[in-house]
C-alpha cells in the first residue's frame, strides 16, 4: 500500500538488542499528514539502522511511503504495525495536482468531454420523418 503526504513529526529512534539472536536493532517512527479534503495522519515505522539512514526522512518533506500493515495480539489485545519498506520523494508534481483538485468542491469538477470518436455510444439517429408504428411516445 502507499500513502502520500507531508512529514509532520519525526519521533525519537528506539534501539536495543534482540533477546533471541543477540543482534542490535534500531527503529524510528514518523507521522505523515495527507493532503485530502479532511487530512489524515498516519504513524509508520522504519526498521533497521541501514534503512533509517538510507531513507533519511526529515520533518516537512513531501513523500510517498510504501508500507505493509500487520496486526499482532498481546495479552488479549490487538495492535497494528505499519512498516515502511520504500520512500519516494518525487511527489512535488503529484502534491501540487492534489492540492489544486482539493481546492475545488467535489460537485464542481466536470468530467472531460470525450472526443466524438471516443464516445461510448453511437449518436442517436433521427427517425422523426419515418413515423414508425412501434415508436414509444416517451
Question: What pLDDT is stored for residue 95 in this prediction?
Answer: 46
The span from the first CA to the last CA of the chain, in angstroms, equals 49
Q: What is the dihedral sign for C-alpha 51, 54, 60, 62? A: negative
> Comparing 45 with 132, which gets the higher pLDDT?
45
pTM (global) more than 0.85: no
103 falls in which pLDDT band (50, 70, 90)? very low
pLDDT, tens only, 7-56 = 999 999 999 999 999 999 999 999 999 999 999 999 999 999 999 999 99
Strands (E) located in the chain:
2-10, 14-17, 24-33, 41-47, 62-74, 77-88
Amino acid at each position: 500500500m502507499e500513502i502520500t503526504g507531508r512529514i509532520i513529526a519525526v519521533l525519537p529512534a528506539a534501539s536495543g538488542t534482540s533477546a533471541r539472536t543477540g543482534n542490535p536493532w534500531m527503529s524510528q517512527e514518523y507521522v505523515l499528514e495527507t493532503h485530502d479534503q479532511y487530512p489524515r495522519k498516519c504513524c509508520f515505522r522504519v526498521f533497521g539502522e541501514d534503512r533509517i539512514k538510507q531513507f533519511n526522512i526529515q520533518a516537512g518533506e513531501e513523500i510517498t511511503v510504501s508500507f505493509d500493515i500487520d496486526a499482532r495480539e498481546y495479552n488479549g489485545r490487538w495492535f497494528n504495525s505499519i512498516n515502511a519498506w520504500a520512500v519516494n520523494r518525487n511527489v512535488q508534481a503529484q502534491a501540487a495536482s492534489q492540492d489544486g483538485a482539493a481546492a475545488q468542491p467535489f460537485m464542481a469538477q466536470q468530467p472531460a468531454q470525450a472526443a466524438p470518436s471516443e464516445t461510448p455510444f453511437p449518436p442517436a439517429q433521427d427517425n422523426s420523418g419515418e413515423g414508425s408504428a412501434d415508436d414509444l411516445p416517451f
